[in-house]
Structure 1
């Protein structure tokens, strides 16, 4: 089928984790895409927004679905009510019935739904029961439905993955309930998207559920320690505690991670069950992607942004695989992704931008760091004692810097001459650190702005404790640094205006 023959695809849940990553892949495959959202404002910063039709509607209001479903060939049902107040099982069931009726009335050819892996028999958690209920309603709708059932999805922004990330990074020792010994079959987000795209073109008579999972079946504890190894952390001792109930475990997760309690409770309740695929019939309709399904450890590396031409990304600006399913989106929740600590300063100065830049580019070495030299020297001595590079490297030139230059215990990662200097820390720290300085001319041409930003990606609990331990000194050192740099630039500009040679002392 050529791209001109592909049906119009309607994506519900396009502002969610999976939907936001599926839309650009459907566009790439040649589909015209329409998205259904309650508020178009949620799409204002999404990069693919200009390439789709936007329909405003609410799955809880059948009247708003009529126009949105008009002309649709394939419907993607990627919404869930978990995290909303009330009984989400009833909410999800009613929304699914509304969608089923609207799709049948509009003559939709195919529904593709993403649900959850669950045991074939026995009691289910409310979360898994609601996922199963929605699939049953859509399959009974009269519109041929492919209901894909996935377990833990591995990708930055996925709630389950973020829980693994934050628990593993924060806790050096993990008391955990018995479900850490349950079996789980995680699947990479890229493989989920692959199945979703191809499910739109399966034969018209297919109307059933399909289990999907990655190549590895693991215990939850093994997932955590697999993450630890890929994140450069030590493996975590895990103690299984039979007395920790799902409710108590969710309170614990809410305490030590940024995952909202409204999401932690239903997810943890679902982890009481083994979630593995019971069949692999999907392979009869959709062959494995090129290279096969993604192993768990590789999917973690992708989620961490540590695979690009086989190299570890070093810049905080591009520490993801560009264009990959693991990339962050503006619609991702605030608690998704790396934990990042920032210290930002801005100063307005009468010095012109070029004078300010001269001071920035001359930083370090003999000129020092413009704030408490004894503190910087002490930090250098401490670094030397633990096997680091210390401050003695200095700089190659007192006036110019180039990308890759060593600068005391930093390295020049990016330089945009006249405007931006970004340094990557090479001292021994429990994480990754950068220092960024920027000079921007004022809009009226008089003076300039100095922006300074320290960025720290902590590694494990030690990284977090390190940041909070030095936080009291930031107000003194980084404030003083910003004040002295701008004052030096103003003094140099005045000296130059008086005919004296400019200096960055």
Structure 2
């Protein structure tokens, strides 16, 4: 398997005759693929220049200080001419998929400008990432695939050596195609779908797309052509959804192909049941009208596959879900991950990308000391209760026991101190930063994963109590569960925050309290 750093043989940059590093210009460096390609180019030994209409957006990227960022638009011939000075390879990663009706003319104008500027600057290679589509005179492509095909032809006619890499569905967290699969599968146990769910598709992992892009910079200048790239698996779209379901721990989905859902209607349906915007869903749906499979493996003669072979679909899904330890640390809501993994979230990823997370956050200022506030937080649960209506917690515990859970009778090991690993009723202590943070992981039966976090934070010269419930739903059942308990959260979590602050301001934890503040029997 290829390394995410680009250090394997054959991908390292070849120095120029004068010993300097070759320069790569990335158009679309803040996009999904571009943001992941730039650090790999840098690691492989390239000097990287990024042309960006909004240079300030690159400030959030970890590679910002290592790359040269120049302001400008790819449609601006003057800006392109300056950006292409002393450039060896240009990566064309811009497209107007979410633009309005004029996207085809916009993409055409950009392609013509890039072709002319690259030819004038003596650029040694253009690499364009396009879309996989069927060949043939009788095939009517979707407007977006037809536009991408046209951009490829314009670049190939530029007189500059060009590699057009045509990829199908890219599998990686944050990829619009993958996010559509993710959310459709998680939300719908039964899916009425257009006939295209029966079409064959050849998905490719984002790590393999990056491998081909990185290797393309080193291909022989005599090679100027279009190449198809795809993973090892050819699947129907419905099979891809059910493959995701297996990796996500969900039941197999029933999918019914209906002849009445046009691409436009299907895009409204996708926009309704997933967070993928309809303007982005429509071109994706339109592209799925065709069977998009690799017609040949000519790419192997130009760019050998990654060491260890291409990534299978199920493995790519596991990587995207953060369930492969070699690529990312176990995902939690703090988004801790190793730098450089292709599926790691980047600042450029849309806010609807990634798994669904529901939160209930509360914050209250307090005049209590940090010690008093922390003593109340650390005393939660067991005989002290949860500083909110006890009946609701008792009912939740009984419900858990009925379905085979641990219930709420475990109590806690110590009345005043907690340590990582301690049980607290139907929670388990996951993290303790004394005086600052307590994080509990739910061990009751829920259709998903849940945490409860309480903490002390200094803000603007005052101490604040912070509280956050976090829930990762599993499938439609998880989403319905959250909606059902939401009204109770309004009572439980509001009262919990109020009572914790009130007890802290009254001097901190005292002998056990019931949930309305009266002293109860000693332990």
Decide which moves more: 365-374 or 320-329: 320-329
Number of the residue aligned with 2:63: 48
- For these two proteins, the number of residue pairs brought into alignment is 496
Q: Distance in 1 between matches of 2:299 and 2:286?
A: 28
5 Å-filtered alignment, 1:330-409, equals 330-409=347-426
2:294 is the alignment partner of 1:274? no
Number of the residue aligned with 2:84: 69
Return the match for 2:503 from 476, 485, 488: 488
Number of the residue aligned with 1:174: 191
2:492 is the alignment partner of 1:448? no
5 Å-filtered alignment, 1:31-430, equals 31-121=46-136, 122-308=139-325, 313=330, 315-318=332-335, 323-430=340-447
Name stretches of at least 5 consecutive residues in structure 1 with no aligned partner: 496-502
- The answer to whether the Cα contact below 8 Å between 1:100 and 1:138 also exists between their aligned partners in 2 is yes
Distance 1:313 1:79, change over 3 A: same
Q: CA deviation at 1:441?
A: 3.5
SS in 2 for 1:49: coil
- The answer to whether the Cα contact below 8 Å between 1:353 and 1:441 also exists between their aligned partners in 2 is no
Q: Of Structure 1 and Structure 2, which has the larger fraction of its residues in helix?
A: 1
Distance 1:129 1:311, change over 3 A: closer
Q: Distance in 1 between matches of 2:396 and 2:336?
A: 27
Q: Which runs of 4+ in 1 moved over 6 A?
A: none
CA offset digits 1:278-322 (Å, max 9, x no partner): 111111122221221100001001101111159993633246565
Q: Distance in 1 between matches of 2:245 and 2:509?
A: 54
2:20 is the alignment partner of 1:12? no
Distance 1:257 1:207, change over 3 A: same
SS in 1 for 2:141: coil
Decide which moves more: 483-492 or 401-410: 401-410
Q: Distance in 2 between matches of 1:469 and 1:321?
A: 36
Q: CA deviation at 1:342?
A: 1.1
Q: Distance in 2 between matches of 1:330 and 1:139?
A: 32
- The answer to whether the Cα contact below 8 Å between 2:361 and 2:469 also exists between their aligned partners in 1 is yes
- The answer to whether the Cα contact below 8 Å between 2:331 and 2:337 also exists between their aligned partners in 1 is no
Number of the residue aligned with 2:40: 25
Number of the residue aligned with 2:4: none
Q: CA deviation at 1:2?
A: 4.9
Coordinate RMSD, CA, aligned: 1.9
Q: Distance in 1 between matches of 2:297 and 2:14?
A: 28
Distance 1:322 1:423, change over 3 A: farther
Q: Distance in 2 between matches of 1:494 and 1:401?
A: 14
Distance 1:442 1:150, change over 3 A: closer
Q: Distance in 2 between matches of 1:244 and 1:104?
A: 45
- The answer to whether the Cα contact below 8 Å between 1:13 and 1:78 also exists between their aligned partners in 2 is yes
Distance 1:452 1:195, change over 3 A: same
Number of the residue aligned with 1:498: none
Q: Distance in 2 between matches of 1:310 and 1:157?
A: 16
CA offset digits 1:376-403 (Å, max 9, x no partner): 1111111111011111122122222222
SS in 1 for 2:334: helix
Distance 1:494 1:384, change over 3 A: closer
Please report the TM-score for the alignment, with normalisation by the length of structure 2: 0.91
Q: Distance in 2 between matches of 1:5 and 1:451?
A: 52
Q: CA deviation at 1:443?
A: 5.1
Name stretches of at least 5 consecutive residues in structure 2 with no aligned partner: 1-12, 511-517
Number of the residue aligned with 2:10: none
Q: Distance in 2 between matches of 1:372 and 1:123?
A: 63
SS in 2 for 1:479: helix
Please report the TM-score for the alignment, with normalisation by the length of structure 1: 0.95
Q: Distance in 2 between matches of 1:441 and 1:144?
A: 58
CA offset digits 1:157-190 (Å, max 9, x no partner): 1111111111111111000111000000000000
- The answer to whether the Cα contact below 8 Å between 1:177 and 1:249 also exists between their aligned partners in 2 is yes
Q: Distance in 2 between matches of 1:34 and 1:504?
A: 67
Q: CA deviation at 1:86?
A: 2.4
Distance 1:66 1:279, change over 3 A: same
Q: CA deviation at 1:44?
A: 2.6
Q: Distance in 2 between matches of 1:494 and 1:225?
A: 51
Q: Distance in 2 between matches of 1:143 and 1:423?
A: 59
- The answer to whether the Cα contact below 8 Å between 1:305 and 1:319 also exists between their aligned partners in 2 is no
- The answer to whether the Cα contact below 8 Å between 1:413 and 1:423 also exists between their aligned partners in 2 is yes
